[in-house]
Every structure is written in C-alpha cells, then in structure tokens.
C-alpha cells in the first residue's frame, strides 16, 4: 500500500515538472523581440519619447496643461490645484512663477521645497500629485463611433479608451483591437479581445500616452486582419510588419 502511494506521488511530481518545463518553453517560442506580459504589467512604452510617455508616476515628465495638486503640510492657503501653462510654467503664492514642464514629480517637489525654504517656511513638506495627465494623448481609430485624438487624464485602461472614442460601431470586431506602442525604439503591436476583457476572463490593460488603438472591422481583409490572424497569443507585443 505504501509502495503504491509513493509511486503515485513520484508520478505526480514528474508530471508537474514536465508541465512547468512545457510552459516555460512556450514563453520562449517565436520571435525573441516579442514582449509578452499581461494586465497591469503590460509592457510600457519608451520613457524617452518627446511627449514624455511614461512607465510610472516616478518616470513621468510633467507637460503643458497637466493639472497638479500641490500640498504644503500645515499651510492650507498654499494647497491648491494648478494648471501647467502652455510654456510649462506654474504660478504659486510665495513662490511666483516656476518651471514645471519637463520635470518629474520628485524634481518639482524639490524645487518648491527649496523656494519655500528661502525665507518663508522652515522645513516645508511639499507634495505634488498629478491630477490630470492632459499632456498625454491617445489616438483611437477604426470601427469606433468617434475616432480621434484624446487626452489621458490619469491612468486609463483599454476599455476606458474605447468608451472615450464613443464605443464600438456596428461593424467592429471586438476580438480585433490592436494597440500600437513604441518599445525599445521599435514599433510594436498587440491584439486584444474586448469581449474577453468585458467578461473578466482577460485583463484590461493600461493605455499610455502616444499609444494608437485601432479597432478592426468584422470580416475585413486589411493589413490589420492579417496581423491579428498571425499573432500567436493575445496581449503579446511584437514587431508590426
């Protein structure tokens, strides 16, 4: 009896190891320049793009028309929302005009702390929060009701971007949504199934500034359709031909 139990346990262990190996080899299949990640960890764009495309808040460069919430601990009159001007400047009491465009949140916090320390406040505690990422824009094309270029106001998912574009039109293929993104200096694209995302069986990926979202038409014979049919897996970023 004990011998049979030991044999079954050994067999289960071997099967598990073979399954793990098969899964690992599957991730390596195809082009070495593919980028495969899912959900919130979906590959972010280059951080060096002209418009400040970002991987996270710490890498984001403040841009024109962004809305900032600036808080100075213990000084209510200095806590306010400030819109960055077209030249990248902001204006605050006790500080005056200050360059914010092109700086990270941490850099702007440091500059404000230094300014307020120069004869106004002792050891001020300044925090900067980006309330609206207005300088970030996404392009929505194809079978949506309102194609166009739209600002991203904070973290935005693919479902939200489609909604911003008015939703899918009557000819749209919800399984043929392509997201274009610059990754490591190369134009990459990934296909997503909107139906699966809505059902909750697939992650709703984050969309970044400078992304292009294209919804293909059902039954089309476009280059997008060829690409959609060629991808080995959904959510897999690969070079667009």
Three-state DSSP at 18 gives: helix
- pTM (two decimals): 0.58
Instruction: Between 94 and 174, name the one with better pLDDT.
Output: 174
Given a cut of 90, whether residue 155 has pLDDT beyond it is no
Alpha helices in 28-122 (DSSP H): 105-117
Q: What is the pLDDT of residue 84?
A: 95
- Give the separation between CA 13 and CA 9, rounded to whole angstroms: 6
pLDDT higher at 224 or 234: 234
Phi, psi for 182 (deg, rounded to 5): -85, 120
What's the confidence (pLDDT) of residue 236?
81
Please report the pLDDT score of residue 121 as a whole number.
85
Candidate ranges 23-32, 45-54, 90-99; pick with highest mean pLDDT: 90-99
Cα 56 from chain centre: 8
> pLDDT of 27-43, one tens digit each?
233 333 444 444 334 56
Mean pLDDT calculated for residue range 183-209: 91
Please answer whether residues 235 and 192 qualify as being in contact, where contact means their C-beta atoms are separated by less than 8 angstroms: yes
């Amino acid at each position: 009896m004990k011998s049979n139990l030991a044999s079954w346990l050994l067999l289960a262990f071997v099967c598990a190891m073979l399954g793990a190996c098969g899964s690992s080899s599957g991730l390596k299949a195809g082009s070495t320049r593919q980028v495969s990640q899912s959900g919130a960890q979906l590959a972010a764009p280059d951080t060096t793009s002209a418009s400040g495309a970002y991987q996270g808040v710490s890498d984001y460069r403040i841009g024109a028309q962004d809305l900032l919430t600036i808080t100075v601990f213990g000084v209510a009159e200095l806590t306010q929302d400030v819109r960055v001007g077209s030249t990248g400047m902001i204006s605050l009491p006790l500080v005056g005009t200050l360059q914010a465009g092109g700086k990270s949140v941490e850099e702007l916090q440091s500059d404000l702390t230094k300014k307020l320390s120069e004869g106004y406040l002792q050891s001020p505690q300044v925090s900067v929060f980006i309330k609206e990422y207005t300088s970030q824009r996404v392009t929505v094309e194809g079978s949506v009701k309102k194609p166009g270029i739209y600002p991203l106001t904070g973290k935005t998912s693919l479902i939200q971007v489609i909604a911003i574009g008015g939703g899918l039109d009557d000819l749209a293929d919800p399984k043929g949504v392509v997201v274009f993104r610059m990754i490591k200096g190369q134009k990459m694209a990934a296909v997503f199934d909107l139906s699966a995302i809505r059902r909750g069986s697939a992650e709703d990926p984050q969309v970044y500034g400078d992304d292009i979202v294209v919804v293909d038409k059902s039954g089309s014979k476009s280059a997008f359709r060829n690409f959609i049919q060629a991808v080995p897996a959904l959510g897999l970023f690969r070079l667009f031909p």
